[in-house]
Amino acid sequence: MHSPSRAAPGAIVGGRYALRTAIGHGGMGTVWRATDTILRREVAVKEVVLPPGLALSDQEAMYERTLREARAAAGLSHPSIVQVFDVVTEDGRPWIVMELLDARSLADMVLEDGPIAPRAVAKIGIALLGALEIAHAGGVLHRDVKPANVLITKEGRCVLTDFGVAKLPTDVQLTTPGMVLGSPHFISPERALGHRFGPPSDLFSLGVTLYTAVEGRPPFDKGDPLATMHSVVEDPPVPPQRCGPLIDVLYGLMEKDPQQRWDVATSRGVLRELLAGPLAQNTHPQHVTDPYAVVPQPPVVPPVYADTRADRKKQVGGRAMLKTGEMPAARSGQRHTTSALPAITAGEPKRAQPNRMRIALGVGAAMVVLMATAAWAILGRDPDKSPQTQPSAGQQPSTATVAVPKAEYQGIIINMPEGWKKKNDTQNYLDLHHPEDRERWLRLRVDPAERNAMAALQYADANHTFCSGGDYAKLGLTAAKLGGVDGAQLEFTCTLPGKAPRHGLWRVAIINGAGHHLYLQTWDANFAQDKQVFEAALASFAVKPPTG
């Protein structure tokens, strides 16, 4: 069979779509910027072209499947699914007409700007879960969820594209070695083994996509497609370093057994709890109507979160609206801006050098207010010494002692101020915060991968780790001790759009072969008070010796 020639600018498809310029190329065809001459609007038109050498029966089957699935995708309606306007046949092959978006792919963002903040990734996850839920309910499997098929518009909308396009078994597209974002990295174990697959396979691919976004690299990358697919089937993911409280969701979605893999409702419920709690940016009532929120925030966040997972299961995930401040900072250190790129692309992201992977702590608000003088006196004492009551005239000194509450995390022990509460306790960190202001907290963290405290903070300073998208100013990066061990301390201020200035202190030391962190972040107006809390925690900071 003679393969049809590819289209050229100026061609009319379906009697109404005038092709203008090619905006994307891939193994399955070309995406064109086009004009709908009837409705007079700009659209994206995907020209489906199969590779040469396929038997006539195979070509016909692939075209028929493409038409069938594109028509099914056209019936899907969700803010996070790219809208399919029309499916036409021209020159013996299908053409898919879609909305034209001004966006960047998630793959381009990771390759060019580095890992995405956990809060933004949680929003992306909720949006894509909603898209997959609608698709699966309509009998449509995506089959190729990956960062290249996730688009983030300039307005912050998160969209899953490339529904309804048939995939060849050999459709493997790779980028640079060491930073591969092609399909083999995102295929589910059951598909890699040739077993039957269904909606859980798309959810596995989503888990790998979210891991890649927050960590800056795929979890099963072996540098070779076959070795990578073997790792997908046999190996656990590379332990994440940047994901913070997202870790349970990532591992739940990347469960090897599709019967044990997390479903949409469970994953979405946990992500919403994280956005309302550990990943909350600002829970003040004035932000309830924040247009960038993934889901409406409750007017008041109680200290103990009620389990409303059953109610959440009835909801369909919405769009992810991302603030500029949640995008990764550019390597130049300038504030990130989203470039105007056509959204619907057929190919993989452009080549880029691998992103370095060091450390990251989740961006959050920090600390507590100054307590009564007696409470600080307790905090500042040696943990092995208990305070004594002062005797009155003529009395013998009392031997009564006051128990000092402790906060413990992975061997770290500090004195805990009275009234403070644990905001989050995960495999990655522990937060303590004041009961009346969740934006002022103290964080304890242990990172087994770190080997140099100063280098870790130099990297954080260069990349504005805690101030993505804001006005960042380094106030000092100096040598300092933590738990009696030589380390480093970074002090900085950060002003995010629409928020009051914040002030942070971050101290790191390598203890027992791992990075140990004590981190304070608070409002700049409260820094003088809250610095005393930080210093009291430093005075009581101790690390248990390793066992065994």
Q: Which residues are catalytic?
A: 144
Alpha-carbon distance of 352 to 449, in angstroms, equals: 25
Cα dist. 266→114, 211, 237, 274 in Å? 28, 17, 21, 12
SS (H, E, C) 72-88: HHHCCCCCCECCEEEEE
Longest Cα–Cα distance in the chain: 111
Residues whose CB falls within 8 Å of the CB of residue 327, separated by 6 or more in sequence, listed in order:
109, 113, 116, 117, 120, 336, 338, 468, 469
Contact assessment for residue 261 and residue 200, using Cβ atoms and an 8 Å cutoff: yes
Beta strands in 103-209 (DSSP E): 103-105, 150-153, 158-160
Q: Which of 69, 149, 134 is nearest to 316 (CA)?
A: 134
Q: Which two tokens stand for residue 353?
A: 């050098």
- CA–CA dist 17, 10 (Å, integer): 9
Q: How many CB atoms lie within 10 A of CB 468?
A: 27
Helix (H) or strand (E) holding 53: none
Nearest to 349 by CA among 537, 154, 105, 124: 105
- What is the C-alpha separation between 548 and 323, in angstroms, rounded? 47
**Dihedral (CA of 340, 342, 344, 350) sign:** negative
